[in-house]
Amino acid sequence: MQVFKGTTAGKRLLTLMAIVMTITIVACSSSPKRPVLYPNQQLNRVGGTMGQHDIDACMQLARSSGVNETKDGEVGRKAASGAALGGVSTGVYGAVRGSSDVGNRALAGAAAGAATGAVQGGFQSTEQAPIFMNFVNKCLSDKGYSVIGWQ
């Protein structure tokens, strides 16, 4: 970041990065979704408390079976792809425009792209993985419940 030290662009970049980090922290702190059960014969028979207990048991079974609950790894992957796209696109823009600071533009674009990718990945990394949801839905179905969605 020595390239941007004391410049307006540098200050904007640091402000953007602070905002991105704040958003990412908020996104990562959201609580995971849980299945919503349809009030079918099974749920009516055992009651809501037992239904929630069975949801917990099925979620724990999925975890202990080695199924990842969330889309971990999205932050790094999205940040890396954002950095690559941002760096290349602004570098090319600078080269086409005949700018003498192509390297600085590419660096700034890479930083902005990485920040954008990190935010997108941060939001996605807290979402339940589809296979985890399918596992829990199957478990609950085997117990006689009907899952109508997750919230």
Q: For 106-135, how does the pLDDT look when each residue is reduced to its tens digit (9 = 90+)?
A: 676 666 666 665 555 444 445 889 999 999
Please indicate, yes or no, if residue 86 is contained in any of the structural domains: yes
Residue 39 shares a structural domain with residue 83: no
Q: Which residue has the tokens 């990945």?
A: 121
pLDDT of the residue at 32: 84
Residue 75 shares a structural domain with residue 99: yes
Amino acid residing at 135: F
- Provide the whole-model pTM: 0.53
Phi/psi at 65 (5° precision): -85, 0
In terms of Cα–Cα distance, which of 104, 105, 113 is closest to 85?
Answer: 113
Residue 54 shares a structural domain with residue 99: no
Please indicate, yes or no, if residue 145 is contained in any of the structural domains: yes
Quick one: tokens of 96?
A: 């086409």
Please indicate, yes or no, if residue 15 is contained in any of the structural domains: no
Residues 6 or more apart in contact with residue 78 via CB below 8 angstroms: 117, 118, 120, 121, 124
Residue 120 shares a structural domain with residue 100: yes
Residue 2 DSSP code: G
pLDDT digits (tens, 9 = 90+) for 51-66: 999 999 999 999 999 9
Residue 87 shares a structural domain with residue 118: yes
Q: How many domains does the chain divide into?
A: 2
Please indicate, yes or no, if residue 18 is contained in any of the structural domains: no
Containing domain of residue 79, as a range? 71-126
